Chain A
Amino acid sequence: MRIFGYKPPFTAWVGIFIVGVFVFVAIFAPWIAPYSESDSVADTWSAPSAAYLLGTDNIGRDLLSRVMYGARTTIGVALMTTILSFLLGTVMGIWAAVGGRVVDQVLSRIVDVMLSIPLLVFALIILSMFGSSLVTLILTIAVLDSTRVFRLARAVAMNLVVLEYVEAARLRGEGLWWIIRREILPNALPPMISEFGLRFCFNFLFVASLSFLGLGIQPPLADWGGMVRDNGRAISFGLTAPLWPAMAIALMTIGVNLIVDWILSINARPSGASAEM
């Protein structure tokens, strides 16, 4: 089977399978989850059984259902932030490359300032100032993450603006927006797409970390990072409760990375073979 004209190797299929399952679960959670995400249905930390396949959590909610709903919020929030951060970062990055010295200096120095503050610390400050609603959470991570996207987009675009077809567009009298949108963006996309996968992974882990620290997605919404935090104490009683959400985080990260590895390998060797030595 081929995807976009390329044959994925076995590892990529594993990644596609993992991500596919999680996305399916995320979309159809309300229909396939056995219980609701916020109802207590049994005792605290009951062991896995036929009724509760993964057991229950610290206030007796069904863990399987919570993991399913958690896929929805965690993946959803990570995806939203990545899309937003790419929109912002890519447009700003290309603008810096084509807009001339002044624009480039102003944008790049702002980004430098933001990059000089550790991501987690920055996010914690903003979230504790403005409170952690879903919207502030997504906006905060998106803006912070867009600085990384900005760096890449600017570097890629810098290599493109010196090409003659861009100069030809300038000589023709095209406007800045047209040059960004029609001449540069389509050619900058291939490297940006594999970066998208990587940034998604980082954002996904970042959302989980923030939730684990209690500043991310707020209860009663289920999310994997928060679930690890809620059930963390159970580990000292030899219970498996916190392992399930943690495993979901790890699996999802591995799955996305396997796909990204494959996409990167396509870009790295277009000719498809090494030299005969």
Chain B
Amino acid sequence: MRGPPARRRKCNRVVESALKIDNLRIESVTGLVLVDDVSLELKRGEVLGLIGESGAGKSTIGLASMVYARAGCRITGGVVSVDGESARDLSADGRRELRGRRIAYIAQSAAASFNPAHRIINQVCEMPVKHGIMNKIEARAWALELFRALDLPDPDRFGERYPHQVSGGQLQRAMTAMAMSCRPDILVFDEPTTALDVTTQIEVLALIRKLIHEYRTAALYISHDLAVVAQVADRIMVLRGGKMVEMGTTEQILQAPKTDYARALVAERKEADKLNVLEEVDESKSLLSVRDALGVYETFVAVKNVSISVARGETVAVVGESGSGKSSLARLILGLLPRKSGSVRFNGRELSPALKERSKDDLRRIQFIYQQPDVALNPRQTVAEIIGRPVQLYFSRPPAEVKRRVVGLLEQVGLPADYAGRLSTALSGGQKQRVSIARALAAEPDLIICDEPTSALDQLVADGVLKLLKRLQDELGVAYLFITHDLGIVRRIAHRTAVMLRGEIVAQGPTPEIFAPPFHPYTERLISSVPEMRKEWLDGVLANRARLRTAAGER
């Protein structure tokens, strides 16, 4: 493989560690300590995984390794040395030289990191040309080679497209190519696969790993998913609240974590792989039944003749990748997406396709919980207003009674009563989602449609929310239509499961049956794409798929 021309190096000493951080301390302008006393060392060709929940300081440390701090943050202590050279002592120009050239960053959202107005190739080639490492022709040749190494379709012409013309997984790979364009010694991956579907994640993960190995690049790999990190990292550092909790080899962290927190993380992740056997639900008590529903956005058919039913007190999971029509199905049932044909019966009565024509009582009986609790609650309303409004609207109770009900609902979702006076912006993500649940419960619904209610939350918080939903079902007998891409959740809470692909339901049945052979091919693909907590898992899946492909080719 032809590399770019050799680079001038300031220091000729052979330094063993590519990146060394000692006693790093980062504070916000308001004096909050974000990262405290974190030290790490990264050898050439080594991958260190940083793991922790949001707010643990993972990304802050990742950026600090390039001596960069986000707006409102300051690096206030510690040493960051790249190739034995103290980067914090560099001038602004020196830091600019460092970034991109010797250490590069790959962000979670590739879509937000590319300029939509320029072709991909120009953005990938910009950095080496700007830094004066290569001329335009060399940079272009190197970019095409990277596209090829990253298995992008039609690598010679891929770069001519604009960012919005390629898929999310391809864009994430293009971003990796952009980071590699200067052949840096260190790459910082900040949740590079989190925004991708499981089936796409696996491809990107495999290619990232291949690239790191091939070019012997050192890397920091930031993720909240232990199973993902386990596939890539040699060592793992567990972080919590800006402090290091534990550091060890990947095997040791997975098999024998020493600290309680690391144990909780590992145990919670393992929980997701188990199948939970739930009590049977009386299928004859049908609550919602959708028959041959067809939902269309202008010309695009989002929901193709879907039939699905939910019984009282039952949880039905709808799984599939993004774009498979899961959310559209929910919107169709809610009346937000008008259905062209088919029927939606609820409580034995036909529901009108349009929201405006539905009675208040119909609206009350089906509630909806959104994926992003941040935008689902009005930031200018207090918790009491948010939860109290459905009580007032549907049951026209006097203010004192509404107040009592709000306190009762807060208690039910596990929040203290004095939260009633708070604005929703003063709550954490998990607490906001609990408020959303309380708002849905305030309407005393028969059915709650949950659209990925835990995917924006941290693992342990999400676990709490799931347990709450489960408990509420046991207590109140409410039914859930649960939309998710996370098979771990499905295994734990769903009585029945429907698998969606391109707007159609390809498999449907009791959850244990869906998760047992014989599989629908797509279900199998989904199941096999969920990262497992074994270091060799990715190799196994890739080998398996390669075998299948050759077998198919021979036939």
Q: Measuring CB to CB, which residues of chain A are less than 8 angstroms from any residue of chain B? A: 163-165, 167-168, 170-174, 182-183, 186-187, 269, 271-277
Give A181 to B415 CA distance when docked, in angstroms.
Answer: 28
Q: A164-B375, A273-B29 are in contact. Are A171 and B368 (CB under 8 A)?
A: yes
Q: Which residues of A contact B360 (CB under 8 A)?
A: 173
A276 close to B73 (CB less than 8 A): yes
Q: How large is the interface on B (under 10, 10 to 19, 20 to 34, 35 or more residues)?
A: 35 or more
Interface centre among A165, A182, A275, A277 (most CB of B within 10 A): A165
Query: Is B258 on the interface with A (CB-CB < 8 A)?
Result: no
A273 close to B375 (CB less than 8 A): no
Q: Which one, B177-185, B224-232, B376-384, is touching chain A?
A: B376-384
Those 7 A-B pairs whose CB atoms lie nearest each other, nearest first:
A186-B380, A271-B72, A276-B69, A173-B363, A165-B378, A273-B29, A164-B376
Q: Which residues of A contact B72 (CB under 8 A)?
A: 271-273
Q: Which residue of B lies closest to A168 (CB)?
A: B376
Task: Return 16 A-B CB contacts under 8 Å, by A number.
Answer: A164-B370, A164-B372, A165-B377, A171-B336, A172-B363, A173-B364, A182-B381, A183-B378, A186-B378, A187-B378, A187-B380, A272-B29, A272-B72, A273-B71, A275-B71, A276-B67
Q: A187-B378, A187-B379 are in contact. Are A275 and B92 (CB under 8 A)?
A: no
| Nearest Cβ on chain A to B149's Cβ, whole angstroms | 32
Binary flags per residue of B315-341, CB closer than 8 Å to A gives 1, else 0: 000000000000000000010100000
Q: Which residue of B lies closest to A189 (CB)?
A: B380
Q: Which residues of A contact B355 (CB under 8 A)?
A: 170-171
| Nearest Cβ on chain A to B520's Cβ, whole angstroms | 32
Q: A170-B355, A171-B368 are in contact. Are A274 and B71 (CB under 8 A)?
A: yes
Q: Which residue of A lies closest to B358 (CB)?
A: A173
Q: Which residues of B contact A183 (CB under 8 A)?
A: 378
Give A269 to B355 CA distance when docked, in angstroms.
Answer: 39
Q: Measuring CB to CB, which residues of chain B are less than 8 angstroms from any residue of chain A? A: 29-30, 67-75, 92, 95, 334, 336, 355, 358, 360, 363-364, 368, 370, 372, 375-381, 389-390, 393, 439, 443
Give A232 to B75 CA distance when docked, in angstroms.
Answer: 61
A167 close to B336 (CB less than 8 A): yes
**B68's contact among A170, A272, A273, A276, by CB below 8 Å, is which?**
A276
Q: Which residues of B contact A164 (CB under 8 A)?
A: 370, 372, 375-376
| Nearest Cβ on chain A to B444's Cβ, whole angstroms | 13
Give A163 to B364 CA distance when docked, in angstroms.
Answer: 21
Q: Which residues of B contact A275 (CB under 8 A)?
A: 68-71, 73
Q: Which residues of A contact B30 (CB under 8 A)?
A: 272
Give A48 to B238 CA distance when docked, in angstroms.
Answer: 79
Q: Which residues of B contact A277 (CB under 8 A)?
A: 68, 92, 95
Interface centre among B68, B70, B95, B378 (most CB of A within 10 A): B378
Give A276 to B71 CA distance when docked, in angstroms.
Answer: 7
Q: Which residues of A contact B389 (CB under 8 A)?
A: 172
Additional pairs, 5, CB under 8 Å, beyond known A275-B68, A276-B75, A277-B68? A165-B375, A171-B336, A186-B380, A273-B72, A276-B69
B375 close to A163 (CB less than 8 A): yes
| Nearest Cβ on chain B to A217's Cβ, whole angstroms | 39
Give A274 to B69 CA distance when docked, in angstroms.
Answer: 9
Q: Which residues of B contact A165 (CB under 8 A)?
A: 375-378
Give A172 to B336 CA distance when docked, in angstroms.
Answer: 12
Give A77 to B73 CA distance when docked, in angstroms.
Answer: 46
Q: Which residues of B contact A171 (CB under 8 A)?
A: 334, 336, 355, 363, 368
| Nearest Cβ on chain A to B452's Cβ, whole angstroms | 12
Give A59 to B89 CA distance when docked, in angstroms.
Answer: 73
Q: Which residues of A contact B381 (CB under 8 A)?
A: 182, 186
| Nearest Cβ on chain A to B130's Cβ, whole angstroms | 17
Give A274 to B29 CA distance when docked, in angstroms.
Answer: 10
Give A165 to B439 CA distance when docked, in angstroms.
Answer: 11
| Nearest Cβ on chain B to A20's Cβ, whole angstroms | 29
Give A163 to B393 CA distance when docked, in angstroms.
Answer: 21
